[in-house]
Chains A and B, each alone.
Chain A
Amino acid sequence: DAKTTQPPSMDCAEGRAANLPCNHSTISGNEYVYWYRQIHSQGPQYIIHGLKNNETNEMASLIITEDRKSSTLILPHATLRDTAVYYCIVSFSGGYNKLIFGAGTRLAVHP
């Protein structure tokens, strides 16, 4: 079973920041937080991952709380193409990406 809890759906206006929360209260010390998204039944697409520190790349920012029990994915300027299901995944750092997907958050970006 997935070790994360996400809201089932969220809305965001185009051009605004989308903040997607994720709870992972049972995360252990060597587990990373990953975010993937799936656009309309395409293959999942990697967005970002982190262990303790906040991370930023060209797609998004990841904010992880100090106790690591929750995180927030931030899409700074959402576009219509960001409409997708976003998955927050906790994954063991053993070297094999055994990704356990939950139900994710369906983000709808509207004009």
Chain B
Amino acid sequence: DTAVSQTPKYLVTQMGNDKSIKCEQNLGHDTMYWYKQDSKKFLKIMFSYNNKELIINETVPNRFSPKSPDKAHLNLHINSLELGDSAVYFCASSHRTTGTNTEAFFGQGTRLTVV
């Protein structure tokens, strides 16, 4: 059983299109994240949701809109795609505990190519 699954794995699309990436976790975690890994291989956090509530929103263009229908799902919708959006997008989840941290589990990534 895949703990954190993303679909699609690969996505090739034209500039200006709107696309969505879906993420689901079956670990019972209450917190989910989106990270972006660019061509230079740096991983940066974009968003985090806890129990469907947005808690982290880094400086990300508002063309990116996360949506969490329930705590097991966090989807990423991107409007008006640009060449610079080409990257690998990773979804992750973890369980929030008070006073300590637990590990985050990552999906296998979605490689987005904008042409």
Contacts and interface: CB of A to CB of B under 8 A. Distances in A.
Interface in B32-63: 33, 35, 37, 41-45, 48, 50, 55-56
19 contacts: A41-B88, A42-B109, A43-B107, A43-B108, A43-B109, A44-B43, A44-B92, A46-B103, A85-B41, A93-B101, A95-B98, A95-B99, A95-B100, A95-B101, A97-B48, A97-B101, A97-B104, A98-B45, A100-B45
A99 B90 contact: no
**Binding site secondary structure of chain B:** strand
A44 B31 contact: no
A9 to B, nearest CB: 13
Interface string B82-115: 0000001010101011111111111111000000
Interface of A: 32, 34, 38, 41-46, 49, 85, 87, 91-93, 95-101, 103
A11 to B, nearest CB: 19
Contacts of B100: 32, 93, 95
B104 A93 contact: no
A100 B109 CA distance: 17
Contact of B106 (A44, A95, A98): A44
A44 B98 CA distance: 24
Contacts of A92: 101
B31 A43 contact: no
B4 interface: yes
B22 to A, nearest CB: 15
A100 B41 CA distance: 13
A43 B96 contact: no
